[in-house]
């Protein structure tokens, strides 16, 4: 076994992180989780996400900032000032990865476009997180999660389910986070390419394209073929009857995914003969009757407690889980048993809940990550280190 087999995967990889809000920071947080040294470069006023809540204990340390910035160092630089611009270029001189979500023209003005950075570090992996592909008509437009949810079609999905024609957002930064995941795997693929060939490269990660591909995999539907064979959308996801079921004391999700599972479910619900109706005979008839089957399930589940149905479904190998609210997720016994949530002490903010890395690697030990940094927490140390190299 190699001496470093037990080290985090990206140990020795240095990332200069010029990103803000969620898209870019989620990418760089994942890299930090895997062992990379991530230096977060912030303006003197800091990442806007630092100030995005009234519930912070200390100004500039909002809860959502914790969610996307643990494991990083922080230095503040005003890149329009020659002295600070020289600092980031000194950081890039021995960096492996540069991740930025500043628009291209601004990067050019700062001397941080790909060609300029490549001149500093020829084998750099340069990851540009953008709203839209830079060879399309939207290239210079600004993009945020709301904009991408709208352009990516997701705001039209809830109306297809509940009949309310008002377009609506998913109440999650889903476009930002999906794009951040794309940026993280793209960065690692480019690092793997460099490991094989010695060649760096520019990687462009556009939000709209990333999110549209994510959503359209199932929802392209009948438009997959030309001419179309039906409407867009995955019917199972858009069935208005396919919702969590009320129980005597809460809500539960029960998934009837196979032909045979319907028989088991209606036996659990006390009406085994219902599913034997000739209308439901055969896979095609049963699939066509799903809205009716869901409706009847919803009429029966209130006769049972959530715990009773969970026990019966799990014993019969039927997928089922209770409906947690957000606070319930934090208290979930499985997630706590596997260590997804950990209580930690922040040097200035006190006890907080850290969300762990969900993926497990057999060759990577569990490591204690750096707490989310205060603004410019590491600035002096980083500058001293650079001064030492200059000597």
For residue range 209-229, list pLDDT tens digits in order: 999 999 999 999 999 999 999
Q: How many CB atoms lie within 10 A of CB 134?
A: 14
Place of tokens 């569990």: 366
Sign (positive/negative) of CA torsion 133, 206, 218, 237? negative
pLDDT tens sequence across 116-175:
999 999 999 999 999 999 999 999 999 999 999 999 999 999 999 999 999 999 999 999
DSSP lists the bridge partners of residue 15 as: 38, 97
Q: Provide the pLDDT for residue 6.
A: 66
Query: Could you give the CA distance from residue 98 to residue 120 in angstroms, rounded to a whole number?
Result: 12
Give 10-19 pLDDT, tens digit per residue.
999 999 999 9
Beta strands at 125-130 and 72-76: parallel, antiparallel or unpaired: unpaired
More confident residue, 251 or 8: 251
* Distance (Å, whole) CA 265 – CA 242: 15
CATH code of domain 14-215+371-390: 3.40.50.10540
Nearest residue to 238 (alpha-carbon basis) of 252, 222, 226, 249: 222
Strands 251-254 and 320-322: antiparallel
Instruction: Answer yes or no: CATH 3.30.1330.10 is held by domain 245-322.
Output: no
Nearest 5°: the CA angle 150, 184, 157 is 20
State pLDDT tens for residues 284-317.
999 999 999 999 999 999 999 999 999 999 999 9
Query: pLDDT for 26-84, tens place per residue?
Result: 999 999 999 999 999 999 999 999 998 777 788 899 999 999 999 999 999 999 999 99
Phi, psi dihedrals of residue 253, rounded to the nearest 5°: -110, 125
Q: How far is CA 206 from the centre of its chain?
A: 15
Residue 378, phi-psi category: left (phi > 0), alpha (psi -120 to 50), beta (remainder): alpha
* Domain boundaries, given as residue ranges, for the chain: 14-215+371-390, 245-322
């Amino acid at each position: 076994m190699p001496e470093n087999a037990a080290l985090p995967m990206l140990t020795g990889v240095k990332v200069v992180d010029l990103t803000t809000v969620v898209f870019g920071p989620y990418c760089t947080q994942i890299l930090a989780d895997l062992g990379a040294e991530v230096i977060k470069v912030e303006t003197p006023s800091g990442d806007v996400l630092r100030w995005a809540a009234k519930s912070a204990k200390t100004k500039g340390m909002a809860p959502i900032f914790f969610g996307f910035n643990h494991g990083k160092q922080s230095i503040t630089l005003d890149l329009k000032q020659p002295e600070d611009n020289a600092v980031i270029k000194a950081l890039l001189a021995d960096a492996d990865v540069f991740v930025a979500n500043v628009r291209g023209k601004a990067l050019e003005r700062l001397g941080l476009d790909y060609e300029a950075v490549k001149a500093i570090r020829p084998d750099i992996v340069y990851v540009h997180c953008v709203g839209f592909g830079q060879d399309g008509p939207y290239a210079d437009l600004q993009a945020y999660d709301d904009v991408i949810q709208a352009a990516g079609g997701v705001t039209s999905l809830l109306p297809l389910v509940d009949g309310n024609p008002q377009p609506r957002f998913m109440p999650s930064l889903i476009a930002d986070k999906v794009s951040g995941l794309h940026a993280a795997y793209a960065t690692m693929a480019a690092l793997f390419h460099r490991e094989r060939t010695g060649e760096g490269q520019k990687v462009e990660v556009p939000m709209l394209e990333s999110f549209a591909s994510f959503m359209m995999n199932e929802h392209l539907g009948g438009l997959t073929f030309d001419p179309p064979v039906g409407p867009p959308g995955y019917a199972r996801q858009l069935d208005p009857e396919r919702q969590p079921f009320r129980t005597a004391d809460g809500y539960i999700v029960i998934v009837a995914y196979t032909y045979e599972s319907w028989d088991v479910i209606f036996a659990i619900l006390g009406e085994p003969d219902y599913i034997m109706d000739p209308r439901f005979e055969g896979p095609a008839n049963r699939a066509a009757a799903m809205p009716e089957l869901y409706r009847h399930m919803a009429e029966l589940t209130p006769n049972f407690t959530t715990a009773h149905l969970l026990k019966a479904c799990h014993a019969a190998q039927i997928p089922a889980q209770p409906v947690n609210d957000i606070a319930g997720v934090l208290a979930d016994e499985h997630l706590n048993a596997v260590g997804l949530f950990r209580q930690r002490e922040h040097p200035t903010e006190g006890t907080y809940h850290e969300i762990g890395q969900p993926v497990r690697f057999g060759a990577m030990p569990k490591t204690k990550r750096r707490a989310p940094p205060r603004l410019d927490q590491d600035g002096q140390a980083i500058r001293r280190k650079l001064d030492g190299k200059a000597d």
